Amino acid sequence: MSKLISLQEAVSHIKSGMTIMVGGFLGVGSPNRILDAILETDVKDLTIIANDTGFPDKGSGKLIAARRASRVITSHIGTNPSTGEQYHAGELKITFVPQGTLIERIRCAGAGLGGVLTPTGLGTVIQEGKEVIRVDGKDYLLETPLKADVALIGASVADEEGNLFYRGNTRNFNCMMAMAADLVIAEVKEMVKTGEILPEHVHTQSIFVDYMVK
C-alpha cells in the first residue's frame, strides 16, 4: 500500500486539541506546505512540541502567529515576536525545556524509556515540580518522555517504502520526532525508487513513517 497521500488528506489527520510535534530548526527541515495547509482549516487549540517557534512566516511559528496553538513546549522563542506577545497576554502557555533535554525527552518516548536523568536545570526554574534523584552522590532531574498524537516532519528524499534521507542540517529534530508520535506524516521534496537510497543513508526507517506528502 502506498504511503503517498494528498496534502488535503494529510491535514485531515490534524484535529483541534491535538499534541503535535513539528520538525525543523528555525524553519530548516520543517514541513512548511503541511503547515500552510493547516492554516486553511479551522484547527486550533494545539499543543506544539518543537525545538523553537520559528518565525511568524516560517516553521511552527506560522501556527503560533495565526493563534492556532494554546501551548508550546520548546527550547527557544526569541525569533518569533508573536510567541512572546501571546505569552505575556496570557493567550499562550509556554513550557521551556533546555534543548538537549528536549531532544532526550523525545528520544525517551520513541525508545520506550521511562525518562532521562540530567543535571541540566538543577537550582533553576527548570527544576520546579520535578523529582530530584541522587546517583553516586550527585543530584539529577528526572525528565519524563515527550510524546505526540502526530509528528509532522520534513525530509529531503524518500523512497516508495517511506525510508527518509535528510540533507545537511535538515535532519535536526526530525529523526527523533518520527519515533515519538502515534502518527507520522513526512513532507518530502524528492521521491525515488525503493533501493535508491543507500542503507547507510537512511536516517528514518520506513517503519516509523505512516504517510508522505510530495
Number of domains the chain is built from: 1
For 164-175, how does the pLDDT look when each residue is reduced to its tens digit (9 = 90+)?
A: 999 999 999 999
Residue 2: the pLDDT is: 87
For 30-41, how does the pLDDT look when each residue is reduced to its tens digit (9 = 90+)?
A: 999 999 999 999
Residue 171: the pLDDT is: 94
Residue 92 lies in a domain: yes
Residue 122 lies in a domain: no
Answer whether 145's CB lies under 8 Å from 188's CB: no
Residue 1 lies in a domain: no
For 140-196, how does the pLDDT look when each residue is reduced to its tens digit (9 = 90+)?
A: 999 999 999 999 999 999 999 999 999 999 999 999 999 999 999 999 999 999 999
Residue 41: the pLDDT is: 97
Say whether 71 sits in a helix, a strand or coil: strand
- Domain enclosing residue 87, as ranges: 7-114+147-213
Residue 165 lies in a domain: yes
For 125-142, how does the pLDDT look when each residue is reduced to its tens digit (9 = 90+)?
A: 999 999 999 999 999 999
Q: Residue 16: what are its φ and ψ, rounded to 5°?
A: -55, 140
Residue 12 lies in a domain: yes
Residue 33 lies in a domain: yes
Residue 92: the pLDDT is: 98
Which CATH number goes with the domain that contains 164? 3.40.1080.10
Here the cell at position 125 is 526554574
Mean pLDDT, the chain, whole residue set: 96
Residue 22 lies in a domain: yes
For 59-89, how does the pLDDT look when each residue is reduced to its tens digit (9 = 90+)?
A: 999 999 999 999 999 999 999 999 999 999 9
Pairing of strands 46-49, 164-165: unpaired
Residue 126 lies in a domain: no
Distance CA 196, CA 191 (A): 10
Our CA angle for 188, 60, 191, nearest 5°, is 0
Residue 65: the pLDDT is: 97
Does 1 have pLDDT greater than 90?
A: no
Distance CA 109, CA 176 (A): 9
